[in-house]
Amino acid sequence: MINITTKLTSELAQLPCISNFKSLLFKIVHFNFVKLFLIFAVLNIGEIYADNNNIYNNKVKESSINNPEIKSQCLMLLHGFGGSPHDLKPLTNVLDTLNVSYFTVLLAGHGTHPRDLKNIQYKTWISDCFDIYDSLSNEFESVALIGFSMGGAISQIISAERDVSKLVVLSPYYRIHQKWYYFGKPEKWAKRFSIVMPYIKKLKIGQINDPSGLEKYSAYEKLPLRAVGELVKVGNLAIEEAKNVSCPVLWLHSKGDIVSDYNLSFDAFNNNESSDKAFISFTRSNHILLYDYDSDEVIQRILRFLHEE
């Protein structure tokens, strides 16, 4: 009986309708996915070059330092991919009332037009940030880093190689949070389609659950797919450097983040060598914590951490 069952199973597996089912299903899904992207590409390419208004409004400012006369400590703030110092505006608004020295970094290719971001290499972002940090450390007694998303990853890279006084990371980027229906890593899809589809329009300006916060937020509406590859390189380097971070660390991330991978973020936190570290998890907010439902708590935790001896 066992031999008959085994033989029947073997014969069924050899039937084209059975053995090729998975292959056929994949081809159908892949074909429709590619077709969808190509249609979107045609619409998107024309739109990006016809749109001369996809530029930041007056909410954006260049890299600048506030209250430089206070020499005890300076906070260096780094924004996310496709964003600007406006990413951290709710925090800097509070810092302005506390008479604190801080430097807001505007990363290369940001704060102007998406086309300026298209050909930027990740090494430029990292090198520029190291130069800014070194300059600030020569001027102030200590420098603490606060980074959001890609800025959080860059802050971690700097902290692994410099004597940073404290590190705060908000929703740090290492890789995109994956879903089963992506049919692979979004970063790889971006690389594949960057030639035929140079830019992609975001579904909304920022991943924020709070409608009032979303209304206040400002960033690029479209992103160059080629630059996504550079973002991936930043995330990969940050993962490698995680074990070398030893300064006091405050890590803030929401389980509801649909952009940055929460689990990988938690792993990176556990891998760093700091003996003074805290991971604070949220549930109501999405990726951009400072504009979402938990914004007030996030800001208060940051301020307490920075003032701790």
Lowest mean pLDDT among 96-100, 129-133, 206-210, 263-267: 96-100
Mean pLDDT of 48-75: 60
Over the stretch 286-307, which tens digit does the pLDDT of each residue have? 999 999 999 999 999 999 999 9
**Residues in CB range of 53: below 8 A, 6 or more apart:** none
- Report pLDDT for 20: 56
Q: Which of 25-39, 171-185, 196-210, 276-290 has the lowest mean pLDDT?
A: 25-39
DSSP class of 175:
S
Give the pLDDT mean for 228-245.
92
Q: Average pLDDT in the 194-205 region?
A: 72
Cα distance between residue 159 and residue 245, in whole Å: 6
Q: Average pLDDT over the chain, rounded to whole?
A: 81
Q: How confident is the model at residue 263 (pLDDT cuts 50, 70, 90)?
A: very high
Percent of the chain whose predicted confidence (pLDDT) is above 70: 72
pLDDT tens digits along 88-120: 999 999 999 998 899 999 999 999 999 999 899
Q: Which residue, among 151, 297, 290, has the nearest Cα to 210 in the 3D structure?
A: 290
pLDDT given for residue 54 in this prediction: 47
Distant-in-sequence, close-in-space partners of 27: CB < 8 Å, separation ≥ 6: none
- Hey, which CATH number is domain 64-307, 3.40.50.1820, 3.90.1300.10, 3.20.20.60, 3.20.20.70? 3.40.50.1820
Query: Which backbone phi and psi does 54 adopt, to 5 degrees?
Result: -80, 55
pLDDT at position 45 over 50: no
The pLDDT of residue 277 is above 50:
yes
Kindly report, residue by residue over 176-189, the tens digit of the pLDDT: 655 544 444 554 54
Note whether 203 and 53 are within 8 A (CB).
Answer: no
What distance in Å separates the CA atoms of residue 90 and residue 82, rounded to the nearest whole number? 18
Beta-strand runs (E) in 171-270: 199-201, 222-224, 249-254
Q: The dihedral of CA 248, 63, 238, 188: what is its sign?
A: positive
Predicted confidence at residue 305, as pLDDT, reads 97
Q: What is the pLDDT of residue 53?
A: 41
d(CA 101, CA 70) in angstroms, rounded, equals 6
Domain residue extents for the chain: 2-50, 64-307
151 contacts: CB under 8 Å, gap ≥ 6: 77, 78, 79, 80, 87, 105, 107
